Amino acid sequence: MTNSTGRRVTANLALTLDGRYNGPGGATDFGAFIPYVTTEVARNHLARIWENATTALLGRINAEGFLGYWPSVATDENADPRDRGYAKWLVDTEKVVLSTTLTETPWERSRVVNAPAPDVVAELKATGEGDILVNSSASVIKALLSADLLDRLYLLILPEILGGGQRLFDDGLPRSKWKLTHQEIGDLGEIAMVYDRVR
């Protein structure tokens, strides 16, 4: 088969006003993000990102972090229904974990692949159906932005400037144009946006 399945490659990430996906303390510095990721707008956004997705594409760090949190939410009857819906989807869906170090899969219904993200996406696009969601894994999103393989970006923009931390949009990316197809503004000033790639 060829790339005729028409699968979209989507990605979601929360970013600060200065474009950071973590704080100056490094990869686990998410303190500034916590007030915003459980708002009504953020939860509606979470429900939106997976509704058409049938494959989750994850980096190792996110795969291991998610495994420690989301399976318990899937069975928690007191959890917000949007959180529970996402958690059940994540547990039940096909997961492809990109890693050069893992030797066994961290989840059920998952497989570990040691290959460049663009190659893995090309393989996934050639088979199956439904969106391929790059689930908050910034390193994978960066690689796919560099290869111009993303079709949709789900961004949650937080009204904070951190002044340090890692940025999503590095210099040297190929030029691309995007169309805003959805936006929702929350009470804390957070904005959920959906951008589709214009080709």
pTM of the model: 0.93
* Strand ranges of the sheet holding 152-158, from the earlier edge strand across to the other edge: 110-113, 94-98, 53-59, 131-135, 9-16, 152-158, 191-198, 177-185
pLDDT digits (tens, 9 = 90+) for 120-140: 999 999 988 999 999 999 999
Quote the CA–CA distance of 135 and 18 in Å, as a whole number: 21
Give the number of C-alpha atoms closer than 13 A to the C-alpha of residue 5, restricted to the C-beta side. 18
pLDDT at 199 over 60: yes
- Residue 5's pLDDT is what? 64
pLDDT digits (tens, 9 = 90+) for 5-51: 689 999 999 999 999 999 999 888 999 999 999 999 999 999 999 99
- Residue 113's pLDDT is what? 94
- Residue 3's pLDDT is what? 44
50-65 burial, b for 16+ CB within 10 Å, e for fewer?
beebbbbbbbbebbee
Average pLDDT over residues 154-160: 98
Provide the token pair at 24: 């100056």
Q: Which fold has domain 3-188?
A: Dihydrofolate Reductase, subunit A (3.40.430)
Q: Where are the domains of the chain?
A: 3-188
Quote the CA–CA distance of 38 and 46 in Å, as a whole number: 10
Using 50, 70 and 90 to split pLDDT, how confident is the model at 104? confident
